[in-house]
Amino acid sequence: MTFKLAASPHSHQRRTTKQVMRWVYLALVPGLLTIIYFFGWGVIWQLMLAVITAWVAEALCMKLRGRPIESAWHDHTALVTAILLGISIPGFAPWWIIVIGTAFSIIIVKHVYGGVGMNIFNPAMAGYVVLLISFPVQMTSWPLPVQLSQIDLSFFDSAVLIFTGYTPSGYDLEQLRMGADGMTMATPLDSLRTALNHEMTIDEALQQPIFGSIAGLGWQWVNAAFLLGGLVLLKVRVINWHIPVGMLLGLAVPAALAWMFSPDQSVSPVMHLFSGATMLGAFFIATDPVTAATSNRGRLYFGLLIGFLVFAIRTWGGYPDAVAFAVLLANMTVPVIDKYTQPVAYGHGEKS
């Protein structure tokens, strides 16, 4: 009788990629709920469009590369890319924005570089940046928090708006973004920038209705919810602390310094941490393992770099949010970081 041959180890921890990904989806839920609560149903439609596009694009690539099409369905990395992009773009952006962005992320950023595990750039963020550069107007038209908005949109109204550009009652996106005073309102980070450029002090700027108690109205809670989800991921050890802690420190420390030296002219560290895509970026985007540095020490530096770049771009740059650019720039430095942070193997250090 002959027996089955297998390579050691014969024991395996039953935690598959699928389970890991399930935690990621679960951890995104609180953030998603707060987005819906504050910014309406648009995000759900964006997510659906993103996921469908990702699957079609993935299947297409598989076919072109001569692989079984079903394997597209096994691959959760495409799904995560789609979800992150769907969450990152303005909720009521026209449908073709997300479709183009997701297709670009999957086909160009991921597959042209060789598929899972081979891409250099974070696919979701590369897609985001391409959209931002190509369609700046649509990509910066963030809806007002529902609480400030004059118009209430139902689930289906949102769909109509996304697909036709008008709500069933004939409003367009621009009108939706008007406050009670009939002025279009920018996002909190934008308003701050504008205010500072107009020589207002921070305190004056923060008087605007778009701000809540610690950061932008709505945004602060969205960030808090992503922080919560991120902590869950840390707890169940789906991610390690190095990247998120690195990124938050990299952002908060320079922000605190600047704030200490010129409190009137700078955004407070807390404001930084709870604005824009900070928490989503720190726990869900920058942690993409494929495009991050390799060793834990390297990942700490990688996180710090992203945090600092976010601070720098928000402070001196011209774009509304900085996380996408910061992540892509940091992606480019990964080979260098890896080179200098290779762990000292057993028997090579001074302990031997």
- Interaction of residue 339 with other proteins, rule CB under 8 A: no
- Per CB under 8 A, 348 contacts other proteins: yes
d(CA 105, CA 234): 26
Name which of 12 and 198 has its Cβ closer to other proteins.
12
Contact status: 151 vs other proteins (CB under 8 A): no
Candidate segments 28-36, 146-154, 312-320, 344-352, binder of other proteins by CB under 8 A: 344-352
The CB-of-159 to other proteins minimum distance in angstroms stands at: 34
Alpha-carbon distance 352 to 343, whole Å? 15
Q: How remote is the C-alpha of 286 from its chain's centroid? A: 8
Whether 325 contacts 306, CB under 8 Å: no
End-to-end CA distance of the chain: 48
Smallest separation, CB 122 to other proteins (Å): 12
DSSP 336: H
8-state DSSP, 105: I
Task: Select 6 or 183, whichever has its Cβ closest to other proteins.
Answer: 6
CB of 117 to other proteins, least distance (A): 5
The 289-308 contact track toward other proteins, x by CB under 8 A, reads xx-x-xxx--x---------
Q: Give pairs for 52-58: CB < 8 Å, separation 24+.
A: 53/82, 53/98, 53/99, 53/102, 53/103, 53/106, 54/78, 54/79, 54/81, 54/82, 54/102, 54/105, 54/106, 57/102, 57/103, 57/106, 57/107, 58/106
Mark the segment that binds other proteins (CB under 8 A) among 15-23, 58-66, 83-91, 129-137. 15-23
Q: Which of 2, 169, 207, 213 binds other proteins (CB under 8 A)?
A: 2
- Which of positions 116-145 make contact with other proteins (CB under 8 A)? 116-117
Q: Which is nearer to other proteins, 198 or 351 (CB)?
A: 351
- Least Å distance, CB 337 to other proteins, is 13
User: Which amino acid, 184?
Assistant: T
Does 5 bind other proteins (CB under 8 A)? Our answer is: yes
Least distance (Å) between residue 239 CB and other proteins:
9
Using the rule CB under 8 A, is 261 a contact of other proteins? no
> Which residue of 7, 66, 316, 318 would you call a contact of other proteins, by CB under 8 A?
7
Considering beta carbons, is residue 198 or 348 the nearer one to other proteins? 348
Task: Give me the least distance between CB of 5 and other proteins, in Å please.
Answer: 5
User: Taking a C-beta distance cutoff of 8 angstroms, is the pair 131, 84 a contact?
Assistant: no
CB of 208 to other proteins, least distance (A): 42
| Bridge partners, 211 (sequence order) | 216
Stretch that binds other proteins, among 17-25, 45-53, 98-106, 219-227 (CB under 8 A): 17-25
Going 89 to 92 to 93 to 96, the CA torsion angle's sign is positive
343 binds other proteins (CB under 8 A): yes
**Residues of 158-191 as b/e, b for ≥16 C-beta within 10 angstroms?**
bbbbbeeeebeeebebeebbbeeeeeebbbbbbb
Dihedral sign (CA 307, 308, 314, 317): negative
Using the rule CB under 8 A, is 223 a contact of other proteins?
no
Q: Which residues bind other proteins (CB under 8 A)?
A: 1-17, 19-20, 74, 77, 115-117, 240, 289-290, 292, 294-296, 299, 342-349, 351-352
